Amino acid sequence: MSSATRDPRRHLPLLLAALSMIGPFSIDAIFPGFPDIGRDFGVGDVALQQLLSVYLLAYAVMSLFHGALSDAYGRKPVIVTAMAIYTVASVGAALAPSFTFLLCCRVLQGMCGGAGIVVGRAVVRDTMHGEEAQRMMSKVMMIFGIAPAIAPIVGAWLLGIDGWRGIFWALSAFTTALTLGVAYFLVESHPGDRRTVFRPRPLLAGYLRIAHDLPFWPLALASSVNFAGLFLYIASAPHVIRDLLHLGADGFPWLFAPVVTGMVTGAFISGRVAGRVSAARTVAWGYTAMLSSCAINLVLALTLDAPRVPWSTVPLVLYGCGVQLAFPTLTLLLLDRFPEQRGGVSSVQAFGSLILTALVAGVLSPALSGGMLTLGIGATSLCLLGLAAWVSYVHLERRGSVGADLVGDPAAAGKITAGIHRRQGRLPP
C-alpha cells in the first residue's frame, strides 16, 4: 500500500508518543549523570543546571520555526530532518571532549528536539476533528506520561554500563530508530496545495496575527503554566532526591513514578470523556486536581518534621492527573483559533511554554528547591496563575470579544467562534 493510500491515522499514536518522549528523555535521563559529568569536567551545580537551561532555551526559540517550516514544506520532511540532526548532536554529546562542547551539543539537541511534538500536534489536527482529535491527543499524552518515569531509571541503569556518555549513546540509538520509523510510517498530512511560503515577512505577519488574537493569550498561558508547576518539581529532582529526601541515584522513581501515574491517569480520563463532557468541565476537573495536590503538599511540608517518601511525593499524582485532564482540551482550543496556521499556532504555544520552563529550570528551581515548602508555594502560585488565565478566556468567549478588529478576519469574530464552540460542547451556554 502506497503512502498516498495508507490511513494517515494508523500509526499516529505510537509515532507521536515516541516523538513526544524526546523532550522528557533529553531532560530527565541525564539527571543521574550530573555528579559524574561534574567530576569529569570540573564544574559545579550551577554549570550543570545549564545543561538543562540551554536545551530548553534552544528548544523554545526553534519551536517558533518548526511549525512554520512544516506549513511551508510539509510535516514529514521537517520531523525527519530534525530527528536526524538530533541523532548527530547526541553522538557529539557522547564524544564530548569538554563541557563547552557538551553544552553546544545540548543546544543543537534543543533546536531539533521539539520538532516532533510541535509538528505532531498539527498532524493530529490535520487528520482528525472533534472528540476523535481529543482522544488521539489523550492517547499520545498517556504514552508520553510514561517517559518522565522511565528516563531517570534508564539513565541510572546506563551509568553502570558506560557512565554518563552511555545516556547520550542511548539517545542517539533511539532517535536513529525513530527517524527511520517516521520516514517509513508517517503519512504526509499537509498536501502541497495547502502549503504557505516560508519567508520572514509572511512568517512575521502570521505571528502578529496570532499575537493580536486576544483569547489566544490566556489559553496559551493556561496550557503552559499548568505544566510549569509540575516541571518545578521535575527540574528540582536532583536536589529533591539527594538533598531533601537523602536518596541515591536509584531514588528518582520516588519522584517520577507519582508524576507519571497521575499524567497517565489524567490522559486516560480525558480520552474517555471526550465528546461526553464539555471542555469547561474537563478543565475544571483538572484545576480541582491540581489545586488539591498543592494544598496537600503545603500541609505536609508544614506538618512533617522532615521530607520523606512516600508522603512528600505522592500528592504529585493529583497534580499530574490535573495537568493531563486539562492539556488536550486547551491545546485543541488553541489550534482551532487559526485552522489555516495550526503549525504556526503550535510553534507560538510551544515557544511560550518552553521559555517558561527554561525560567523555571534556571531561576525558580535553584531559588525554591531548598525545601518542600518553598517548592509547594511556587507550584501553587503557578497553578493559580493558570486558573486565572482559564477564567479570563472563558469570560472573553462568553462576551464574544474576539472581534474582526483584533484579528483582521471577519470570519474569526468572537461571537461566531463562541457559538461554534458551544454547539460543539467546548463551552457551556
Q: What is the pLDDT of residue 408?
A: 33
Burial status of residue 248 (CB atoms within 10 A of its CB: 0-12, 13-18, 19 or more):
exposed
Q: Helix, strand, coil proportions of the chain in percent (round to 5)?
A: 80, 0, 20
**pLDDT less than 70: residues of the chain:** 1-10, 129-131, 134, 137-149, 152, 196, 249, 343, 400-429
Instruction: Indicate left, alpha or beta for 308 from its phi (over 0: left) and psi (-120 to 50: alpha).
Output: beta
State the Cα–Cα distance between residues 83 and 263, nearest whole angstrom: 25
Rg (CA), the chain: 21
Name the average pLDDT for the chain.
Answer: 80
Q: What is the pLDDT of residue 32?
A: 81
Q: Do 28 and 148 contact (CB within 8 A), yes or no?
A: yes
Q: Do 352 and 131 contact (CB within 8 A), yes or no?
A: no
Q: What is the pLDDT of residue 401?
A: 46
Can you read off the three cell numbers belonging to residue 234?
521535575
Phi (first) and psi of residue 387, to 5 degrees = -65, -40
Q: What is the pLDDT of residue 428?
A: 41
- Please report the domains of the chain, with CATH numbers, ordered by start residue: 12-187+203-423 (1.20.1250.20)
**DSSP string of 80-133?**
HHHHHHHHHHHHHHHT-SSHHHHHHHHHHHHHHHTHHHHHHHHHHHHH--HHHH
Reported as a single tens digit per residue, the pLDDT across 359-409 is 887 788 888 988 999 999 999 999 999 999 999 998 888 876 443 333 333
Nearest C-alpha neighbor of 221 from the set 138, 121, 148, 326: 326
Q: Do 326 and 225 contact (CB within 8 A), yes or no?
A: no
Q: Where are the alpha helices (DSSP H) in 186-215?
A: 200-211
Q: What is the pLDDT of residue 145?
A: 60
Nearest C-alpha neighbor of 227 from the set 253, 268, 259, 272: 259
State the Cα–Cα distance between residues 376 and 388, nearest whole angstrom: 18
